[in-house]
Amino acid sequence: LCRQTVRQSDGDAKASKQPEAAVPKVLRSLSKHFCGTLSPSLPGPPSLPLLGNMFDLAQEHLPIHLTSLALRYGNIYRLNYGNTTMVILNNSEIIRETLVKKWSDFAGRPHSYTGDIVSSGGRSISLGDFSEEWKAHRRLAHSALHRCTTDSLHPVIENQAHHLCKVLRDYNGKAVDLSKDFTVAASNVITTLTFGKSYDKSSVEPQKLQDCLNEIVSLWGSPWISALDSFPLLRKLPNPPFTRLMKELARRDELIGKLIEELKKSDHREGGTVTSSLLQSFKPPQGGDQMTLTDTHVHMTTVDLLIGGTETTSALLNWTVAFLLHRPEVQNKVYEELCGVLDVRYPKYSDRHRLPYLCALINEMLRLRPVAPLAVPHRAIRNSSIAGHFIPKNTIIIPNLYGAHHDPKVWDDPYSFKPERFLEGGGGSLRALIPFGGGARLCLGEAVAKMELFLFTAYLLRDFQFLPARNEEPLPDLQGVASVVLKVKPYTVIANPREQ
Ligand code: HEM
């Protein structure tokens, strides 16, 4: 049975078709469980009957665990879960080969029972599988985002950065947890781009939407719900987390639907926001690939932008302050660079080439804490190969960006926080830095995120010195909590205004 499955995966369909038909379905699925279908040369930890490598996949900090397995099994290895085989990639060259060079083989997303529900039947950009419809959807969303950000993104972020500094000044040196303020700032950038609206921390409406989106991401990532994808029989049993997920999805759709209706009532034909621009382009009178796109695609694009663009950027800002508390001399160096180059004015994004130390700090944060540490799973859409290993169609590919950023063969002293490595001659490799993924599935918001990270970090370090809450309190834990987004554990900090 093993041999037969491997032969079939080799694309030798003719050779395997007849004997396969003679093998009862149950035996075939058992063979899949016990033997896998991958190239036999691909290493991996021993896998239990039926459960596969479930215990590896249930580890608390999965990116760290997968990185530690790479030390034993190499930069490419396999794991099994239920009837799914996954290939884990742990090195930036291998990830580039897969996502960039062979993008057309690996641009798919896994199909799953719960993924289909969360993405309204695969009609979201992030979870939708590779197809003509998906390509048209992503292309239109990309150009709407580009159109609406070309002139207005900079002032939108500047505005939010000024507001964020004001909020921090109003704390008057009190020790506080800034995570919510970072979330509001990042979320306001996206809601301004999508709906032309921004909100206060005390506003109920955006808070409801943010809480609902966070709950969806966290419930969907929970083992109670992902088990439904691999073990269909469980779908017949009561499952309270799944019931909660369905309730949150209904709430999400109601809240986003209301915002889109409001936008439609206002004169959206002006096309000033990403959503209004999409509403226009998704409703052509005739022809072209646009015909297949519907209001659900517009709806799901806003969900993609809100989920993709809020917790990621805000988590990175929160990580930056946490690391700076451990290394106060780094924030002083950035402050001196800002004062030396800009005198008293606030920075513009175009100043980035004159602020190498600030850019090095941002790159080092993206390396050490890639906030989407395992990207989003890819799927092989045809038989292909990675690093010389045969990879059959439908294999799930996990790009371990965290592992790639800690690869000791690429990074000198990979676990140390050293912004200097990204200065000229410092040895840090921008080619090996891949926090936004690559290829057909490259993060849609990369340009937005880079401008946000630059302006928010610059404004914060120009206006404040970040100090530990109290001398006796431990400094923030730097390992963090890994779910879909890699976040720092809650901590408090004093934002002490700098004398300008
Ligand atoms: C520090 C900030 C951010 C990081 C590190 C980040 C990283 C990533 C990564 C690793 C992926 C998966 C790529 C893959 O599947 O190979 C992704 C996808 C995506 N991101 Fe981001 N992201 C960030 C900010 C943003 C922002 C600000 C937005 C929206 C404005 C955004 C929207 C998206 C979308 C829509 C996708 C799905 C793309 C697709 O499947 O085609 N992200 N991001």
Mutate to test the pocket of ligand 1, among 195, 379, 436, 484 (most ligand atoms within 8 A of CB): 436
The C-alpha atoms of residue 374 and residue 359 are separated, in whole angstroms, by 24
Tell me what pLDDT residue 465 has. Answer: 97
Distance CA 239, CA 217 (A): 17
Residue 128's pLDDT band (cuts 50, 70, 90): very high
Instruction: Write down the pLDDT at residue 301.
Output: 95
C-alpha 445 to ligand 1 mean position (Å): 6
Tell me what the pLDDT averaged over the chain comes to: 88
CB atoms within 10 A of CB 40: 12
pLDDT (mean) for 15-31: 40
Residues annotated within the binding site for heme are 443
Q: pLDDT value at position 270? A: 55
- Ligand 1 atom, smallest distance to 378 CA: 15
Share of the chain above pLDDT 70, in %: 88
Closest ligand 1 atom, residue 190 Cα: 30
Find which of 41-45, 58-62, 385-389, 496-500 is predicted with most confidence, using mean pLDDT: 385-389
* pLDDT range class, residue 272, cuts 50, 70, 90: confident
| pLDDT value at 69 more than 70 | yes
Beta-carbon-side half-sphere exposure of residue 251 (alpha carbons within 13 Å): 18
226-235, 265-274, 298-307 — most confident range: 298-307
Q: How far apart are CA 9 and CA 466, in angstroms?
A: 56
Provide the whole-model pTM: 0.90
Residue 462 has pLDDT above 70, yes or no: yes
Window from 82-96, 174-188, 213-227, 324-338 with minimum mean pLDDT:
213-227
Mean pLDDT of 347-355: 96
**Residue 218: predicted pLDDT:** 87
Look at residue 223 and tell me whether its pLDDT is greater than 90: no
Asked if residue 11 has pLDDT above 70, the reply is: no
Q: In a mutational test of the pocket of ligand 1, which residue from 443, 454, 484 has the highest number of ligand atoms less than 8 Å from its CB? A: 443
Residue, of 231 and 346, whose pLDDT is higher: 346
- Residue 381, pLDDT above cutoff 60: yes
Asked if the model's pLDDT at residue 206 lies above 90, the reply is: no
Q: For position 35, what pLDDT does the model report?
A: 41
- pLDDT, residue 38, reads 59
Exposure string (b/e) for 373-382, b if CB count within 10 Å is 16 or more? Answer: bbbbbbbbbe
Sort strands 481-482 and 486-487 into parallel, antiparallel or unpaired: antiparallel
With a cut of 50, say whether residue 14 has pLDDT above it.
Answer: no
**Mean pLDDT of all residues in 183-195:** 93
CA 427 to chain centre: 26
Looking at the predicted structure, is the pLDDT value of residue 291 above 90? no
pLDDT at residue 398, rounded to an integer: 97
Q: How high is the pLDDT of residue 19?
A: 36
Mean pLDDT is lowest, of 21-25, 254-258, 427-431, for 21-25
Report the 10 Å Cβ neighbour count for 151.
8
Structure confidence at residue 151 as a pLDDT band (50, 70, 90): confident
Q: What is the mean pLDDT of residues 484-498?
A: 95
Find the residues whose C-beta lies inside 6 A of ligand 1: 99, 125-126, 138, 190, 304-305, 308-309, 312-313, 316, 370-372, 375-376, 399, 435-437, 441, 443-445, 448-449
- What pLDDT, on the 0 to 100 scale, is given for residue 1? 22
Give CA–CA dist 383/366, Å, rounded.
Answer: 32
Check pLDDT > 60 for residue 32.
no
**Which pLDDT value is given to residue 486?**
95
Binding residues: 443
Percent of the chain with pLDDT over 90: 72
Q: What band does 288 get if pLDDT is binned at 50, 70 and 90?
A: low
Q: Hey, what are 421's tokens?
A: 């490595």
Q: What does the pLDDT read at residue 24?
A: 43
- pLDDT at residue number 26: 44
